[in-house]
Amino acid sequence: MTVFKGSGVAVVTPFKDGKVDFDSYGTLIDWLIDEGSDAIISCGTTGEVSTLTQAEQMDTIRFAVERVGGRVPLIAGAGNNETAVAVSNSELAQKAGADALLVVTPYYNKASRRGLVEHFTAVAKSTDLPVILYSVASRTGVNITPDVCEELADVPNIAGIKEASGSISQVAGIARVTQGKGFDIWSGNDDMVVPLMSLGGAGVISTVANIIPKETHLMCEAFLAGDIAKARELQLWMNPLVDAVFMEVNPIPIKAALHLMGKIGYEYRLPMCPMEDGNYEKLKALMNEYGLV
């Protein structure tokens, strides 16, 4: 049940005058696909979904589905810290036409192992769509360990995990216990895509691909084609950019970067806010070195 292989972009949600800027969003989606992106992820962490109302979230997903138009898979962020809301999000995203769902661990609640299994199982049973788990303990306070993945891999429509622990040892543990179960692993850390793919990973769900979609796609494509040297070269080339777009909490720097490229306005919803002036200038200088501005 592989949803996609290669580079999926966790797309930012542009704002204008306090509302979702669908004109910029549509233009950005078109550019990302034209540059070779293998999937579009709408309303994930990078999409500032936690500042959207459910109505805004579904309007944004519905718009993304229509704009993508089947050119690549459209994966909708549907997670929530309340299982009932995550179930509702999943049902609505399916009705909106999403091809798959990205479901983050319940944040703040810090569910137990059993709670995680029951949460994700309930979400998966509420939809016919493939479900991608999302483990990012640095933001949610709870980790999805290999033994949890092993159990959830037996749920028919749980397709894999976006793994953002930053631990290659944990990735190896997940790969070991889920092999042969049709359970894919995508990197959630842009600086370790090639190491993760070396353990059988399917690619990346990327933040930095918002500004370098072609290169992120080519890195994954090269690895999948067996050209490890080229994939490694691109990974090492992009890592300074990766560091830059995470110098402040995501998605603050990546939205600033897209603004510097003239693709979106420089607007957030609190508690997200513009970058510190010094960091903004550092980002601008590095993007200039990379020929992006």
* Catalytic positions: 134, 162
- Contact between residue 29 and residue 264 where contact means Cβ atoms under 8 Å apart: no
- Greatest extent of the chain over all pairs of C-alpha atoms, in Å: 49
| φ and ψ of 34, to 5 deg | -60, -30
Residues 6 or more apart whose Cβ sits within 8 Å of residue 160: 2, 3, 132, 133, 183, 184, 185, 186, 202
Q: Which 8-state DSSP code applies to residue 166?
A: -
Q: What is the DSSP string of 241-275?
A: HHHHHTSSSTTHHHHHHHHHTTSS-S---TT--PP
Q: Per DSSP, what are the bridge partners of residue 103?
A: 133
Rounded (5°) CA angle 57-59-65: 105
Per-residue tokens: 10:
């966790």
